Amino acid sequence: WAHNTHIGDYRATDMKDAGYVNLGGLARQSYGEENVALIGFGTYRGEVLAGSGWGRPEQAMPLPPAREDSYEYHFHQAAKKHNLNQFYLLLEDQTHSPFSHQLGHRAVGVVYDPRQESRGNYVPTELSKRYDAFIFVDKTHALKSLHTVFVRGEFPETWPSGQ
């Protein structure tokens, strides 16, 4: 498991223009697209467990409704229309689908500031090229923290973290 910004293929975002690469794109390049399954995740609103900065304590934070120019907003509209709380999409061979158009895709990491939500937490994305499948949950709740026991000289299992 990894955050969307790490697992989604960087070539389907603006990361490629900035000279960045990530795990998802490198895995597809190294092992072949047919041998790698990249699964993204999105939510419309709810809560998230994150820190307000690197090295800051984790806390449950509100996740406001997604912007109207985002995949999460459009998935929320579809969920409402069909009375669904969650669904998944298989994105194989979606070249001429709505998922091949570039829209904002919410990116929340271990560091999050709800006040910056509308300005800085969306990555321009062609969903069908970034992932092989996508899981959508309309409203999420913050995870319960795993309390780490530190052993001198060893990295904790949850390292690195936003704590």
Query: Each residue of 120-136: pLDDT tens digit?
Result: 789 999 999 999 999 99
Q: Which whole number is the average pLDDT over 1-10? A: 88
Quote the CA–CA distance of 109 and 78 in Å, as a whole number.
25
Q: Which of 33-37, 86-90, 152-156 has the lowest mean pLDDT?
A: 152-156
Identify which has the larger pLDDT, 152 or 108. 108
Please check whether residue 116 lies inside any domain of the structure: yes
Please check whether residue 16 lies inside any domain of the structure: no
Please check whether residue 132 lies inside any domain of the structure: yes
pLDDT at 119: 78
CB contact at 8 A, 28 and 36: yes
pLDDT at 36: 95
The CATH number linked to 89 is: 3.40.1660.10
Question: Is residue 15 scored above 80 in pLDDT?
Answer: yes
Please check whether residue 73 lies inside any domain of the structure: yes
Burial 73-93 (b: 16+ CB within 10 A, else e): bbbbeebeeeeeeeeebebee
pLDDT at 101: 86
pLDDT at 114: 85
Q: In which domain, by residue range, is 97 found?
A: 39-140
The SS3 of residue 69 is: coil
Question: Is residue 98 scored above 90 in pLDDT?
Answer: no
Please check whether residue 83 lies inside any domain of the structure: yes
Nearest to 10 by CA among 28, 35, 32: 28
Q: Which whole number is the average pLDDT over 127-155? A: 85
pLDDT-derived band at 159, boundaries 50, 70, 90:
low
pLDDT at 156: 64
Which residue's entry shows tokens 């910056």? Answer: 116
What's the total number of domains in the chain?
1
Which phi and psi angles does 72 have, rounded to 5°? -60, -40
Please check whether residue 44 lies inside any domain of the structure: yes
* Total-model pTM: 0.83
